[in-house]
């Protein structure tokens, strides 16, 4: 599963909506309740030894794209930031991101929609100065 993510400076991470959650330590990426449920289900399908890597790469119509991939826990690098999320009624899961990507995505909100048009994971990035129409790429 691949989706693109954008980098951003590290603003204060307060929950901006009652349905958004931060990691156990109160830092990281904001994740809405629908996204938490979807990710928890996907993590169960992947197996216990998997974690979710979120980051950015060059590309997309706005210059940078978001990425989301399941990786083996053994692939976590020593400089990766690790966040643990505990959805209500589902097992906790870990999200990792490299420091370079975090510059662009820190404070980002990850949401999920099951709508037929525009459904899937959606990224709301406070660090983006411009986003494309599909919402999968951005510029800073």
| Distance from C-alpha of 71 to C-alpha of 85, rounded to nearest angstrom | 16
pLDDT at 1: 45
In contact, 123 and 132? CB cutoff 8 Å:
no
Q: 73 lies in a domain? A: yes
* Alpha helical stretches, state H, the chain: 33-46, 99-105
pLDDT at position 93, please? 85
β-sheet bridge partners, residue 124: 109
DSSP H or E segment with residue 123: strand 120-124
Identify whether 134 is part of a domain.
no
> Is 5 within a domain?
no
Query: Do the domain assignments include residue 47?
Result: yes
Total tally of structural domains belonging to the chain: 1
Residue 122 is assigned to a structural domain of this protein: yes
Report the CATH number that the domain containing residue 106 is assigned in CATH.
Answer: 2.60.300.12
Q: Which domain holds residue 100?
A: 20-127
Is residue 114 situated within a structural domain? Answer: yes
pLDDT confidence of residue 20? 47
> For position 21, what pLDDT does the model report?
52
From first to last of its 140 residues, the chain has per-residue pLDDT tens of 444 333 333 333 333 333 445 554 545 788 898 998 899 889 889 887 899 999 999 877 778 888 999 999 999 999 999 988 888 887 888 899 999 999 888 889 999 999 888 788 988 888 888 777 666 667 77
């Amino acid at each position: 599963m691949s989706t693109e993510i954008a980098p951003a400076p590290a603003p204060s991470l307060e929950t901006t909506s009652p349905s958004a959650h931060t990691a156990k330590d109160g830092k990281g990426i904001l994740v809405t309740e629908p996204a938490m449920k979807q990710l928890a289900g996907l993590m169960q399908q992947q197996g216990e030894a998997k974690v979710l890597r979120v980051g950015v790469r060059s590309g997309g119509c706005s210059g940078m794209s978001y990425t989301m991939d399941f990786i083996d826990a053994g692939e976590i690098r020593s400089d990766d930031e690790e966040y643990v999320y505990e959805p209500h009624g589902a097992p906790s899961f870990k999200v990792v991101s490299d420091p370079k990507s975090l510059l662009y995505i820190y404070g980002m909100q990850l949401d999920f929609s099951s709508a037929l048009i525009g459904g899937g994971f959606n990224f709301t990035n406070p660090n983006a100065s411009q986003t494309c129409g599909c919402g999968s790429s951005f510029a800073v």
